[in-house]
């Protein structure tokens, strides 16, 4: 490289703050393909999802590396010789960032970053990338606090690898001066910060609980929309509530919970329903629609825990509407991902399974082909009693509203 580095400290600073520079970073994606437990098709799907995450952040993927290995390398995950080969390619192509699909151990990410210093590049794992996307897209104070908490939990095992571990200094405790490492000082600082964030999140949690209690007193029913990321949950929320929720064709467009009202006229309600909720023929029924954050495969437990207070609303809702991308070739796997996460947070309310994007099913053979495809999906997932809609073209939205009323 042509630029002269003045010191090791300057190099570390450049590497640490690489993602905050204004330039468009060029990214290498790397992963290993276990010889027995992962097919080439699954690997390609994982890499495509990682590429979508990188593009969501605004960077460019210039190369993908997949290595066949029975087990990850203990030191560098992909092996010393493979890493050296990739570093040479990165230097030739001017790449700045190496991202691994899997979650690396603290000593692995440390050793890889040490090797990448010589070309001014940096290594992340998948969680690092997701957290940076969260950090970039977070708008509310609560979501920012949740992301900061998740970042601390992810950073915790990596503290030992920082250069500060080598030095010691005097630190004042309540009773005396104490000789301790900078790593211990950092851990103490992060522990206090973590407690402070949890305290603030607890206040948000109490406010949310008061809101739920207020809704219950007013007999307001709540529908919670869940689904795998990019299933167009926010688009469906906009259609049902006629409000504006951020809609973008990218992963993790929604990072905070928003609650809107869906109004259903008395003409659409049965006599039994009107009597139960004391609705006159001139009034509207108000149903709260809760659009919430993303779900994604292999979501680390610390991320789920960090957003636990936000996800609490799902437990208290009357109905869960599980939105599914019907055009996705991995439907079954992604349904399972969402169901597993709901199970982890004890969200066991009644579900309505909504297969969205039926307008995207055309394979060039017309409406008959789409109808046959939908019939196949109905037969395959008959146990879920699904509804097929297009939020984009507003197809079968009234049918969905009626199903929500029936379940209520």
pLDDT digits (tens, 9 = 90+) for 44-89: 778 888 888 888 777 888 888 888 888 888 889 998 999 999 999 9
pLDDT at 158: 72
pLDDT at 2: 43
Fold annotation for 8-136: Rossmann fold (3.40.50)
Q: Could you tell me the sign of the dihedral formed by the alpha carbons of 312, 315, 320, 323, in that order?
A: positive
d(CA 237, CA 17): 37
Among the ranges 126-135, 211-220, 262-271, 299-308, which has the highest mean pLDDT value? 126-135
pLDDT at 279: 63
Helices and strands of the chain, counted as H and E runs? 14, 12
Nearest to 72, CA basis, from 63, 64, 82, 62: 82
Q: Where are the alpha helices (DSSP H) in 295-366?
A: 301-306, 308-316, 331-344
Distance of CA 15 to the CA centre of its chain: 25
> Which top CATH class is 219-407?
alpha beta
User: Distances in Å between the alpha carbon of 270 and those of 104, 109, 192, 205, 317?
Assistant: 56, 60, 56, 36, 22
d(CA 404, CA 319): 8
The answer to whether the 8-136 and 219-407 domains have the same CATH topology is yes
- Residue extents of the structural domains in the chain: 8-136, 139-197, 219-407
Mean pLDDT across the stretch 307-318?
Answer: 69
SS3 call for 387: strand
The tens digit of pLDDT for each residue in 259-303 reads: 778 887 766 666 666 666 666 655 677 888 887 766 777 676 667
Residue 251 has pLDDT above 60, yes or no: no
Taking a C-beta distance cutoff of 8 angstroms, is the pair 326, 227 a contact? no
């Amino acid at each position: 490289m042509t630029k002269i580095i003045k010191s090791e400290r300057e190099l570390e600073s450049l590497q640490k703050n690489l993602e905050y520079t204004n330039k468009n970073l060029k990214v290498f994606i790397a992963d290993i393909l276990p010889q027995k437990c992962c097919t080439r098709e699954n690997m390609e799907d994982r890499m495509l999802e990682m590429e979508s995450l990188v593009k969501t952040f605004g960077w460019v993927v210039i190369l993908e590396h997949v290595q066949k290995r029975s087990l990850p390398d203990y030191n560098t995950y992909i092996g010393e010789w493979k890493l050296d080969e990739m570093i040479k390619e990165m230097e030739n192509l001017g790449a700045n960032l190496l991202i691994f699909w899997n979650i690396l151990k603290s000593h692995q990410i440390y050793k890889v970053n040490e090797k990448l210093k010589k070309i001014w590049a940096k290594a992340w794992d998948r969680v690092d990338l997701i957290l940076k996307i969260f950090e970039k897209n977070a708008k509310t104070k609560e979501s920012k606090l949740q992301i900061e908490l998740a970042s601390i939990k992810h950073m915790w095992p990596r503290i030992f690898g920082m250069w500060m571990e080598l030095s010691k200094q005097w630190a004042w405790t309540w009773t005396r001066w104490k000789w301790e490492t900078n790593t211990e000082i950092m851990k103490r600082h992060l522990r206090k910060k973590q407690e402070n964030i949890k305290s603030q999140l607890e206040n948000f949690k109490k406010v949310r609980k008061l809101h739920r209690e207020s809704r219950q007193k007013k007999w307001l029913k709540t529908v919670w929309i869940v689904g795998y990321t990019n299933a167009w949950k926010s688009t469906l929320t906009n259609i049902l509530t006629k409000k504006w929720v951020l809609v973008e064709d990218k992963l993790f467009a929604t990072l905070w919970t928003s609650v809107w009202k869906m109004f259903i006229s008395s003409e659409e309600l049965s006599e039994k329903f009107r009597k139960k909720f004391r609705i006159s023929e001139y009034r509207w029924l108000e149903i709260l629609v809760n659009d919430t954050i993303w779900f994604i495969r292999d979501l680390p437990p610390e991320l789920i825990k960090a957003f636990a207070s936000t996800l609490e609303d799902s437990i208290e809702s009357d109905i869960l509407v599980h939105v599914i991308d019907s055009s996705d070739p991995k439907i079954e796997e992604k349904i399972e991902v969402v169901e597993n996460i709901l199970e982890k947070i004890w969200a066991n309310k009644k579900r309505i399974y909504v297969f969205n994007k039926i307008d995207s099913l055309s394979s060039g053979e017309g409406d008959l082909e789409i109808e046959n495809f939908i019939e196949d999906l109905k037969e395959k997932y008959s146990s879920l009693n699904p509804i097929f809609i297009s939020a984009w073209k507003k197809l079968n939205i009234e049918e969905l509203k009626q199903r929500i009323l029936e379940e209520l």
